[in-house]
Amino acid sequence: MKTKLGVSVLAIIVTVMTLAQNPQAQPKDASLSMLNEKLVEVSKKVTPAVVNISAQRERASKSLDQMRSPGDPFDENLPPLPKTPDSRISRGSGIIFNEKGYIVTNNHVIKEAGSIKVTLSNKQEFRCSVVGTDPATDIAVIKMDEPPKNLPTLKIGNSDAIRVGELVIAVGNPFGFSHTVTMGIVSATGRQNVGLAEYEEYIQTDAAINPGNSGGALVNIKGELIGINTAIYSRSGGSLGIGFAIPSNMAKQVVEEIIKSGKVVRGWLGVYIQDITKDIAQSFKYGKENGALVSDVMKGSPAEKSALKAGDIITKIDERDIIDVHHLRKLVAWKKPGTSVKVSIFRDGKELDLSLPVGVMPERKAEIIPALDRFDDIGITVKNLTEELAYKWRIKEQNGVVVMRMKEYSPAFNAGMRVGDLIREIERTPIADTKDYKSIMSEHRERKHLLLLIQRAGVNKYVVINRE
């Protein structure tokens, strides 16, 4: 006879209160015992499929902008890095994806690792190699060099079907405590603008998650994988009941793509887009607040070959209503390059349907800093504004240069500037690109105090650079 978990929450609360008031009393029904046994059953089932990861990092000292900040997810090395070459160990968690020894984890767990070792729940240790990474979602896939037979795996659940309030269990390696199990509920779904990755749609949970849980499993009461634990919101470094996990549906797509080709290829239209606000809706005589406004079309992009133009409001992609910018980007990213999509737009009070070709999203290229892009006299390097940088730093402008690197204790650093700031003006002169920046900086090279207009997180701010 099968037992079901569909137990009344009220019945459980009443039972617990009764036992608290009279410890000798026995529950009149098996509600509490059923819940207890179910949690034990799921924990026993899930734990063997979760591994502890130890990644040895070999790297030289880096400039301020390349160091992980204390606010980054699950970085256990919060003090600043030494100024000499160092070797350190990053500890996290991973989930066995299939019996061939593929393991999914977070990119920040194995980033810049020289060697990777995983430990199973039975204490067996295995060396691993990196198969591929996707920094845009903070997902990485590694593989055991010599996987054993009959590796335990988890059934992947449908993360789109989870509901707020559902019981969930987190398994990982918090603070190095092997295969720790914690319980909570789904606090929210579809969390965006957390600032951890380019593509965000996190599950929020209050299950205790701490440093070392990165890459671990978040499962439902059936023991199905519904998320990959990724980050916490914390002012102390420990759990405050706000944790974030990558939904299993998103993770599965990324992992399968990495296993297949070693990387993730995303669809791309090549447009600058922004969310619809009340003011924008009113200005465009658009009666809704969903969708995404096209602020510009990139030269040489797939969108340029279509009839789409600045000022259009994209309302649907292949008949799916667009909620906001993030939703549009996600839908387009998973379209196959070389195909076309039907795009519904609002233009001049009319609804129109267009067909847009889908291109390949340009790959993120490693930053090679040539001699002319070394730190300037105020201690920064800058780059022209691109679509990728606009998305990464939430920039809505079309002109300006982005601060890419910053020297510690430089004039720019002392003025409070940060990597990701958009420089819009120098001494009240607008900046369009790096050519303008270099020209105007050269023009004012003798000025001791330099006035800059920057934009950060959509807010303009004047800063004064003191060169003395």
**Active site amino acids:** 108, 138, 214
DSSP calls for 297-349 = E-TTSGGGGSS--TT-EEEEETTEEP-SHHHHHHHHHTSPTTSEEEEEEEETT
Cα–Cα dist 452/455, whole Å: 10
What is the Cα–Cα distance from 373 to 349, expressed in whole angstroms?
Answer: 46
Cβ atoms of residues 379 and 324 within 8 Å? no
> Are 198 and 113 in contact, with CB atoms under 8 Å apart?
no
Sign of CA dihedral 85, 88, 94, 98: positive
Q: Which two tokens stand for residue 245?
A: 């996990």
Question: How is residue 98 annotated by DSSP?
Answer: S
Contacts of 233 (CB under 8 A, 6+ apart): 240, 242, 243, 244
Report the helix count and the strand count for the chain, using DSSP H and E. 9, 26
Q: What is the dihedral of CA 37, 39, 43, 44, to 10 degrees?
A: 10
Name the residue among 449, 302, 466, 297 with its Cα closest to residue 387.
297
Give DSSP secondary structure letters for 188-209.
EEEE---SS-SS--EEEE-S--
Residue 294's identity, in one-letter code, is V
**Angstrom distance (rounded) from CA 420 to CA 66:** 12
Exposure letters 160-199 (e unless 16+ CB within 10 A, then b): eebeeebbbbbbbbbeeebbbbbbbebbebebeeeebbbb
Q: Give 149: exposed, middle or buried? Use CB within 10 Å, 0-12, 13-18, 19+.
A: exposed
